[in-house]
Amino acid sequence: MDAQGNQLTITAFIAAVFLLFLLIAPLVWLIVALRRSRLNAFQCLLWAGAYLLCKLWWRTRWINQLRLADGQGGVIVCNHRSSVDPFFIQTATGRKIHWLVAREYCEHPAFRWFLSACEVIPVNRGGIDTAATKAAIRMAAGGEIIGMLPEGRINMGQEFMLPARPGAALVALKARVPLVPCYISGSPYRRYPWSPFFMPARVEVRFGEPLDPAAFRDADGEEGSAQEFTLQILKAIAKLAGRTDFQPRLAGRNWKPTAEELEEAMAAKERRDAAEKLLPLNRFPPRGFHGRHTLRDLFLVLEPSRHDVPVGHQHHQLTFDVHGLVVLLQHDLEARMELPLVQHLVLLERCDDVL
């Protein structure tokens, strides 16, 4: 009995040590990670929350890695479709990214604490904010990463990218750091900055090769160099999206959308969101759907598809406009009205249900 009791005691001791190790090991790993991280403890907590949101709620896939060496300064530029676009880029790296954010958000009580913790750079929307630009140049030259959205506002239209301003190119040129183009597809948004947190999505993030600003420096004066570099940046983003036909445009120096233009863009996006209930764009086209197709083929895919092929990484892109039942097929798809009358009526009835 004594020998058996001693054996049980030893087994219990080993089990207790093992359980204690399981409890302590994650804590030790967390402490080591925090000491090595460039983020402080609160920023690490925010990063972890953002990562969980990206992976579990928005089902994000990072197709490749950010190509910037540790300690190397740089500028990241991407398309802007959602208020949470910076989440998808920040969670791709453990380094801190300083985003230029509209000043009204930085001063808003609901967002101020969060944006302050993220160490963003407040910027005025209209015209050129010299102070914000100088701060971004100084930080990039000092080895930090600057995140910029050259469209200046969320793109809610059907255009691939809005006219862009050359601020990101100017920062890279002045700081003499590489600029990394990035393309985000599938990011959720519906009118309000907090709406993505209530919208599941399927997001993909693609980083391009870093662009060296030296090739554009002093080519046609400072302003000309920044403008030419900006056009190349937008083309690089379009290439990541498979949109080689995209013709980039520059925004004016003091360009700012009116309240009416913003409201019209929001209303148009809400109509498209309603149409997506009929045809889920982020699941189109199904595998094998290429070449020339008739409206009969389109009708067959109006029901939810099981295939997950995000729009923007295929050569075909489709928009379904419920107003007038207009089908816009881009690239080499062709729509021909070859459906029987009864099927047209079914489609129209489904549109009425949405509207």
pLDDT in tens, 242-287: 998 899 999 876 566 666 766 777 777 776 666 665 554 444 444 4
Residues in the chain: 355
Give the model's pLDDT for residue 336.
36
Reduce the DSSP state of residue 320 to 3 states and report it: strand
Give the model's pLDDT for residue 276.
60
Over the stretch 215-233, which tens digit does the pLDDT of each residue have? 887 655 566 788 999 999 9
pLDDT(297) > 60: no
Give the model's pLDDT for residue 353.
46
Give the model's pLDDT for residue 18.
77
According to the per-residue pLDDT averaged within each range, which of 39-53, 287-301, 327-341 is highest? 39-53
Section 335-353 average pLDDT: 43
Burial zone of 321 (CB within 10 Å; 0-12 exposed, 13-18 middle, 19+ buried): middle
Mean pLDDT across the chain:
75
Cα separation of 173 and 212, whole Å?
9
Cα separation of 176 and 124, whole Å?
24
pLDDT(182) > 70: yes
pLDDT(132) > 60: yes
Under 8 Å between Cβ of 135 and 66 = no
Cα separation of 104 and 111, whole Å?
10
> By C-alpha distance, which of 34, 88, 44, 39 is closest to 66?
88
> By C-alpha distance, which of 171, 6, 208 is closest to 74?
171
* Cβ neighbour number for residue 8 with a 10 Å cutoff: 10
Cα separation of 154 and 129, whole Å?
19
Give the model's pLDDT for residue 190.
85
What ranges in the chain are assigned the alpha helix state H?
2-36, 41-52, 85-90, 103-106, 109-117, 130-141, 167-175, 221-240, 259-276, 295-300, 341-354
Over the stretch 309-334, which tens digit does the pLDDT of each residue have? 344 333 333 344 333 333 333 333 33
Cα 133 to Cα 179, 215, 339, distances in angstroms: 15, 21, 56
Q: How many CA atoms lie within 13 A of 250 on its CB side?
A: 19
**Ranges of CATH 3.40.1130.10 domains, the chain:** 41-240
Beta bridge partners of 211: 179
Maximum distance among all alpha carbons in the chain? 93
Superfamily of domain 41-240: Glycerol-3-phosphate (1)-acyltransferase (3.40.1130.10)
